[in-house]
Amino acid sequence: MSVLLVAGAGEGLGRAIAQRFAREGYVAALVARDGTKLQALAAEVGGQAFPADLSREAEVISLYERVERTLGAIEVVAFVAATRIIGPFTGITFEDFERVWRQSTASGFLVGREAARRMLARGRGTILFTGASGSLRGNPNFAAFAAAKGGLRFMAQSMARELGPKGIHVATVLLDGAIDSPMMWREHRERMEKLATDGAIQPDAAAHAYWQLHCQPRNAWTFELDLRPWTQPW
């Protein structure tokens, strides 16, 4: 049985990735802090729920042990966890900055490290990180988000250069645009209503890119793939 671990699984992109891989025979280990929501999502996509706080080292180590003991060797990891604080730079508290960093960069480090430790022993595996426009540029009012996503991108780049020659494909998917997800509609309804039908990134379309990255032959691996709606200025 092929195993996919979705770190930071939710009702948008995480669900779509799990469903895309499930069509190819993969079983998804879904990871998030809210166990109740996670159980409902697992039932929907035919995966299994593994509640955990990805910013805590002991929980991430235990998570990998539980998943591989229950489902088998993890072949693919899709890291989609993130949070963001939007506001003036002088109004950002240290606690806010640290929380954004922990849920993106620190969590990505722990998830990536534990995946690599296991995949190296097998000589194969795919680790896919999720970035955003903030991975490349720091826009006004997004200082904490840009610092966290930029750090995650450079960590992934270092991993790719080190682990690629050892058989581990590390890649980053940069999602440059709003994602058409229930959370975005709840939190930014006015913005989403202004977008055309295909003016936001559709989770299913993005999930297909994650599958394509995993399927790439090792003599033509991509490290960084950017996705944006055709109307998105860049």
Question: What would the pLDDT profile of 98-121 be if each residue is shown by its tens digit?
Answer: 999 999 999 999 999 999 999 999
- The pLDDT score that the predictor gives to residue 197 is 63
- The pLDDT score that the predictor gives to residue 8 is 95
| Low-confidence residues in the chain, pLDDT < 50 | 185, 189
**Interior/surface letters 166-183, b for 16+ CB within 10 angstroms, e for the rest:** eebbbbbbbbbbbbbbee
- The pLDDT score that the predictor gives to residue 185 is 45
What whole-number distance in Å separates Cα of residue 128 and Cα of residue 169?
8
Q: Which strands, in side-by-side order, build the sheet including 125-132?
A: 48-49, 26-31, 2-7, 74-79, 125-132, 168-175, 224-227
- The pLDDT score that the predictor gives to residue 178 is 80
CATH of 2-227, one of 3.90.1300.10, 1.10.240.10, 3.40.50.720, 3.40.50.150: 3.40.50.720
pTM, full prediction: 0.92
What whole-number distance in Å separates Cα of residue 79 and Cα of residue 34?
16
- The pLDDT score that the predictor gives to residue 171 is 98
Q: Is the distance from CB of 69 to CB of 61 less than 8 angstroms?
A: no
